[in-house]
Structures are given as structure tokens and as C-alpha cells.
Structure 1
Amino acid sequence: MKRCRRIGCGVAVAAVAAMAANAQVKVDEALPMYKPVQGISGSIKSVGSDTLNNLMTLWAEGFKNMYPNVTVEIEGKGSSTAPPALIAGTATFGPMSREMKKQELDEFEAKYGYKPTALPTSIDMLAVYVNKDNPVKGLTMAQVDAIFSKTRKQGYPEDIVNWGQLGLEGEWKTLPISLYGRNAASGTYGYFKEHALGKGDYKDSVKEQPGSSAVVQGVASDKGGIGYSGIGYKTADVRAVPLASAEGKMIEATPENAYTGEYPLARFLYVYVNYKPDSQLDPLRREFIRYVFSKQGQQDVVKDGYFPITADIARETLKKVGITPDF
């Protein structure tokens, strides 16, 4: 179950493995169509992940189309901004591209007497991007670590600083590797540090970018560039490099490999909510959550380049916040 832990599964990866039979991304037919109810109005504020910024916007637009009297404000400056906003009560929802850390959970519990609830909304693959013209065929996770980290916790024998060290020839042989990444406020930064660098330290030469798209843009404009970002930010000017957990088969960043857990950097994307156990959510939050876990909400996931969760995961997640599934 090592891969299951890597994705952060509160529910077994087997629940999504059934969707892997067809590599095309399809929304689970068992998910319900969302139908609006009467009397929903008010304000929603989302504070947190930049990775989830576009997806939160799509959900907000779909929700507002059904409820014109609802206003939604979205602030996506990084996953680490979500816990303080939820603790202070200034955010309705806290999207995060990682699970909350123990200290964040403890600080929330110290104020409210219970922990926040994590809602796994979708599946992302963190891709390692190179320039579209770069011929590198694949990388082991130890090589990725030796490229980005100065501590090399994954055990690679030498620091990797140019493309020739990875077997490239000709003009690439002496070309220096140029590193692009996120800043410390980002959940993507923390996830990559933990899972790719073995909790090691980034090199000082990493060009830290304020957002996911900026990482991809940097790599696209830099022939020797390499960077990490969510698969939803892929463009025609970059290429996602196949990865291997160890020496052996390189795994491509495909939906099938995300669902089976074979791809080494697959993860859930979460929305955290302040839910008091055994209570009833207010109608506004309840209906927004129901929308996220509906057919329309999961179609938004696909539209943004991520992978939808199954009806089984949706049912279990809704129950966590006192919503009885009707499917």
C-alpha cells in the first residue's frame, strides 16, 4: 500500500482503479446531476492553493449560474494560506494541494475543539517538465532528487548539473540544467520536497515562481529548463518526462497511471472545511460541496486537466460532512 499512502488515500486506490480500464478521462456515470434547491444565497470565500485556483473558479462559475444571489471570492496564494484563514474564520473553504501538517491541524483543533475536514475532490499528477525540444527519455526519482536537491536523500551518487550527465549528446551534452520551482507557501513545493526529494533541501539555484503556470512558462522559454507543476498546467511548449520510482520502467503521466498509483507523483487535491462533527452544514456550504461532488463538478475537474474521483469516493466524502448521498 506504499503507493496508496503516496496519493494520501483516505479511501483505497482500488476505488479509482476501476476507472483505469479506459485511459480516457470520463466522469463516473454513477455520480448525480446537480439540481438546484430553493433559498441559497450568501458569500463564499476560498483561500489557499494556487494549483486549485482555476478549478475553484470553474466550480464557482457553475454554482453561481444556478444561484445568482451567491458571491464567490477566490484567493490562491498557496496551500499554506488555507489553514490560517480557516482558523481565523475568514475563509469558507481552504483548497490545498497537500494534506494539512500536524501543526496546522493542532492549531485548528486548539481553537475549535475538533479537526478540520479534508475533502478529496480530484486527482492530480505532479509532472516534471522539460522544454519541448529536450530529448531526455525519462528520469528516476533519484535523478530528479539529484537535479533539484543539494542533499540527495534518494541516494544518487553525484550532483546532476548538466544534461550530459543524463546521457544527452551533441549540443545538449554541456548544456547546464536550469531549475524552476514554486515558493515555500505552495503545497506543490512541500509535496515535491517530501516525495521527490525525500524531505531533503532544494538547491539554492532553483528559480522560485509565484504560481504553477509561471513554472511552465519558465521551462517553455528556457532550452535547458526543468521544473515541476501540476499536470493541468501542461502546454504545447513543454513535455512531461516519464518517471520511475527506481531503475526500471518509466511511467508516463497518464490518467491510467494516476488511477492505479503507478505514477510516482500522483496526489489528491483537497478542499478543507470547518465542519463540527455530528452537526448540519449551513445550506450554502452544503450545496457548494454537493455541486463539487456532482457530475457537473467533476466535469469541471476534467475541463481543468485533472482527474475526477469516483462515486464511491464522493459518497464517503459527503458522509464526512453530514451529507446523506442520494446516489
Structure 2
Amino acid sequence: MKLKLIAAAVIGASFVSTAVMAERVDPNLPDYESVSGISGNMTSIGSDTLNNLMTLWAEEFAGLYPNINIQIQGAGSSTAPTALTEGTAQFGPMSREMRTSEVQSFEDRHGYPPTMVPVAIDALAIYVNQDNPLESITVPQVDAIFSGTRRCGYPEDITRWGQLGLEGSWANRDMTLYSRNAVSGTYGFFAENALCGGDFKDSINEQPGSASVVQGVSESINGIGYSGIGYITSQVRAVPVARDEGEEAFEVDNENYPLARFLFVYVNKHPNEDLAPQQVEFLRMVLSKQGQEVTARDGYIPLPETVASRVRGELGID
């Protein structure tokens, strides 16, 4: 699928230009202009990470089209493929790409694959309590904290803050781990990229949503967890992350931050037919200057026009 190839290429080629635009939307993005005759109901089922952003986009869209109603459910990315396959949703937001088995199930039903639409870029932050003095962390250390398999190569299990160099009263404090649950695309992305494909420890406190991970860390002085940067609050800190020992640690808004990913909205688009007008206009707005301003306001990294224009072209909505 061409969109999949675009996404793979852009992560490497375009993230430098997008990360520095966390607070600024690409001025080359087109302005969205509303059209007549758009009304009806639509449903979005999928990612919790994208729940806030989909809600804000829906509100922006409803402001332009008062006769549109969009219902949004954000239980987790794993709920999106089934909803799209069964036709119970027009949009399937996901914080990861569909698995081969999910694409196959859709294709078995419809005769063609689902269409993947990159809509924003997220930095997956490692959160600690605001009072925690930890200055930085490496990916292998993150793996040794959250996983018993330690596939990233750290030499020992990490359970206490002193093992990361904290001293005084922090040295012997045990860590409290907060994680998303297995239905979440964030959970899968973290396992693949921060745990090097390893398994989570049984001691993690699984949370039903991204906000609950951050809340858990904010309420526990010993807490550490991971969640999208859009969920940061003043009660937690996002720790700079290095790829390995001896390498530079980068803040979440730096182009070299190691835990960055695309966020997607999947749709059911027949290869020889146009999407419904409501879907076309919603995606056109999301991929416009106004839509990506909403992305930036919600704390995520907006797409550059070089990416958005290619996506619009693939969808046939330029």
C-alpha cells in the first residue's frame, strides 16, 4: 500500500522538519474551505491516544457543519480494525499500524485492504513524578525497568531509583510502574521500540487510558510510566531519552528523540470509488492548516505539507 511506504519513508526523512514545528504549523499547508451539503452521522472507534485529538477535530468540523454529528469511542487501537471491518465505524484511529492479521481480516471481508492515513506525529514520553530528580534515561534502562526479558541488552534488572544514579532518600526507593493495557497501540509500540520486542513485567500497573498513566505517575512519588506527549501535565516530567549508554539524551521535542511515531486514522476506501463526502471533508480538514493547528494545540507534532500533500493525493482529495 502506497500510504504505508510513505509513512515508512517520512519517519526517517521528514521528522527533522516536523519535530521543530511542535509549536508552529507548516505555513504551506492549505487553508480549509467549507463546502455545501455536508450533513449526517459518523462514528470513530479506536485509539485512546487519539481520543482527545479526534474529539477536537470533530468539534472543529461541527463548527463548520452544524448538521454533522461524530460519535467518538477511544478504548484502544485494537478496537479499530474490527469496527472498520464490520462497518460499525467510518474512522479507525490507531497509534500503530494494523497488524498483518488485521489487514487480512478486513481484506477477506471487503476484497481490498484498509487505507492508512497519517494524521499527526507523537513522541512517546517517559514520565516521572514532578519531584523526581532523574536527569535522563537510556532505552536499555527503560527496557530493564519495564521488561524482565531485557532484550535491549542492559546487564541487570532495574527496580530501584538508586540503580539509575539517584542518591540520598531516593537510592533505595522501589519504582512503581505504570503502563497502558494490551489493547492499546501505545502498549504495542512501546514493547517493540522501548523493550526491543520483549515482554512486560508482571508488576506493571496496566491502565485503561493514556491520561490514567500520567495520573498514576503524578500521584506516586516513585512512579514511572509512558504515554503520548499530548497528555503531559504540570504534575509530571518527561525525561530526556538516549538511545544507549554514552549517547546524548534528547528531549521529546527534539528531532533525534528515539521514541517518535506516526498516528493514523484508517478508513474503508474502495480503490475505484471515492469516500463518502462527509469523510472526504473531514480528512481534508484534518490535513489542512486548520486541522494541523488543532494537532499542535493538543500537544502533538503537526504534519508538514510535504507529507500531508502526498496523503491527500493518495486519497484523491487534493
1:181-260 → structure 2 map (5 Å cutoff):
181-247=179-245, 248-254=247-253, 257=254, 260=255
* 1:280 Cα deviation after fit: 1.4
What SS class does the counterpart of residue 152 from structure 2 fall into? coil
Contact 1:132 1:237 in 2 (8 A): yes
For residue 298 of structure 2, the aligned residue among 304, 309, 319 is 304
Tell me which residue corresponds to 1:148.
146
| Alpha-carbon displacement from aligned partner over 1:30-59 (angstroms, at most 9, x marks no partner) | 111111101011111000000000000011
The 2-side partners of 1:10 and 1:286 are apart by 25
* 1:24 Cα deviation after fit: 5.6
TM-score by length of 1: 0.93
Tell me which residue corresponds to 2:163.
165
* 1:279 Cα deviation after fit: 1.8
The 1-side partners of 2:82 and 2:196 are apart by 26
The 2-side partners of 1:312 and 1:43 are apart by 31
The 1-side partners of 2:211 and 2:134 are apart by 22
| Alpha-carbon displacement from aligned partner over 1:274-306 (angstroms, at most 9, x marks no partner) | 111132122111101101011110011011100
**How many pairs are equivalent?**
313
Aligned CA distance change for structure 1 residues 148 and 16 (closer, same or farther; 3 Å): closer
Tell me which residue corresponds to 1:321.
315
- Tell me, which stretches of 5 or more residues in structure 1 are unaligned? none
For residue 267 of structure 1, the aligned residue among 261, 271, 276 is 261
The 2-side partners of 1:235 and 1:112 are apart by 42
Aligned CA distance change for structure 1 residues 87 and 19 (closer, same or farther; 3 Å): closer
| Alpha-carbon displacement from aligned partner over 1:114-159 (angstroms, at most 9, x marks no partner) | 1111111010000000011111111110000000001111111110
In structure 2, give the amino acid aligned to 1:203: K
* 1:10 Cα deviation after fit: 4.6
* 1:319 Cα deviation after fit: 1.6
Aligned CA distance change for structure 1 residues 18 and 160 (closer, same or farther; 3 Å): closer
For residue 74 of structure 1, the aligned residue among 63, 72, 75 is 72
The 2-side partners of 1:87 and 1:200 are apart by 29
What SS class does the counterpart of residue 217 from structure 1 fall into? helix
In structure 1, give the amino acid aligned to 2:236: V
For residue 44 of structure 1, the aligned residue among 20, 42, 53 is 42
Contact 2:18 2:303 in 1 (8 A): no
Aligned CA distance change for structure 1 residues 78 and 157 (closer, same or farther; 3 Å): same
The 1-side partners of 2:272 and 2:132 are apart by 54
Tell me which residue corresponds to 2:13.
14
The 2-side partners of 1:112 and 1:91 are apart by 15
Tell me which residue corresponds to 2:273.
279
Aligned-pair identity (%): 56
* 1:199 Cα deviation after fit: 1.2
| Alpha-carbon displacement from aligned partner over 1:193-236 (angstroms, at most 9, x marks no partner) | 11111111101110001110100010011111100000010111
Contact 1:281 1:322 in 2 (8 A): no
The 2-side partners of 1:48 and 1:143 are apart by 31
What SS class does the counterpart of residue 79 from structure 1 fall into? coil
Tell me which residue corresponds to 2:59.
61
* 1:12 Cα deviation after fit: 5.6
* 1:8 Cα deviation after fit: 5.3
Tell me which residue corresponds to 1:96.
94
For residue 288 of structure 2, the aligned residue among 288, 294, 300 is 294
Tell me which residue corresponds to 2:125.
127
The 2-side partners of 1:125 and 1:234 are apart by 11
Aligned CA distance change for structure 1 residues 124 and 35 (closer, same or farther; 3 Å): same
* 1:14 Cα deviation after fit: 3.0
